[in-house]
Amino acid sequence: NIMKELSGLEVYEQKLKTKFNLRKVIVVPGNSDIDLGVKQELGKACVHFLKRIIKDNMIISVTGGSTMSAIADEMIPMENKDCLFVPSRGGLGEQVENQANTICVEMARKAKGNYRLLYVPDPISESSYRSIIKEPVVKEVTEYIQNADIVIHGIGEAMTMAERRKMSKNQLDQIKKSNGVGEAFGYYFDKSGQIVHKVRTVGLQLEDLESIAHVITVAGGASKADAIESYFKLGKSNVLITDEAAAIKLVKG
Ligand code: F6P
C-alpha cells in the first residue's frame, strides 16, 4: 500500500523537522547502507529541491563524497542564467571521483552552469597554507565560496572518514579518544556537537554557514544516524535530505 508508506515517510519528515528545527526535511524510502539505488534517490530528491530554489546568478558550493557524487549523477539542466558552482573546501583526502572539484565540474556541466575550482595540496603544512591563501586565484574562489547562496554537503561517520582520508595513526587515535562521531566540511564532531578536530584547508569555515541562505545536508544510511545527529547539534543547516533507515534511528534516538 503505497499511500500508507508515503504518509509514514511524511511522519518522519515532520518529526525530524521539529527535532532539528529545519525548514525542510525530505525522507526517501530504504537504507543507502545496503542499497546503492537509495543513494541515487537521495541525489534525485536533492536535484529536484535545488531546481525549486535556484535563481539566476546564484553561487552553489558543494562538498565531496559518494552521496554528493550521486547528486552529480542525477543533475539536470537548471536553465538559470550564470549560476556558478564552486567546491566548498580544498582537498580533503578523497579519491578523485569523490573530490569536491570533480563533483563540482560534473554538476556545473549537467546544470548548464559555470564552475571555478580550488587546487590545494592535501595535506598542507601550516606555512604553505599561509602563503596559498594569499594567491589571487585562491582568494577569488574563496570569496565566491563565502558568498554562496546555496551549500550542498554530505556528512560521514568520523572514524570512517578519518580512515578513508588515510589520516596518521596519531590523528586517528586523537579523534577516537575525543569520541568523534560525525564529520562534515573537514570538521569532526563529538556527540554533543563539539569540534574535536579540523582539517587544515582553504575554503568554507563552519561559521560562514550562518550567512548562507540555503544549507542543504544530504546524508543517509542507518550507520550515519549518530553522525547526522552530532552535526545538527550545531544547527547550521536548513534542509535535510535523508533516507528512511537513518530517519527511523534519528527519531528513536
Ligand atoms: O569528504 C567530503 C565529504 O562530504 C565529507 O565531509 C563527508 O563526511 C563525506 O564526504 C561523506 O561521504 P559519503 O557520501 O561517501 O558517505
pTM above 0.90, yes or no: yes
**pLDDT value at residue 148:** 98
Residues 6 or more apart whose CB falls under 8 angstroms from that of 79 comprise 112
**Which tens digit of pLDDT belongs to each residue from 94-142?**
999 999 999 999 999 999 999 999 999 888 999 999 999 999 999 999 9
Residue matched to cell numbers 590523528: 171
**pLDDT value at residue 28:** 97
Residues lining ligand 1, judged by CB closer than 6 Å? Answer: 63-68, 92, 94, 153-156, 161, 183-185
> Is the ipTM of this structure higher than 0.95?
yes
**pLDDT value at residue 205:** 95
Q: What are phi and psi of 63, to 5 degrees?
A: -100, -170
pLDDT under 70 in the chain at which residues? Answer: 1-6
**pLDDT value at residue 4:** 56
Measure 92 CA to ligand 1 centroid, in angstroms: 10
User: Is the dihedral angle over the CA atoms 51, 251, 28, 101 positive or is it negative?
Assistant: positive
Measure 17 CA to ligand 1 centroid, in angstroms: 22
Give, using CA atoms, the residue closest to atom 12 of ligand 1.
Answer: 65
Buried b (16+ CB within 10 A) or exposed e, 125-138: eeeebeebeeeeeb
In ligand 1, the atom with minimum distance to the C-alpha of 182 is: 8
**pLDDT value at residue 221:** 98
Measure 219 CA to ligand 1 centroid, in angstroms: 9
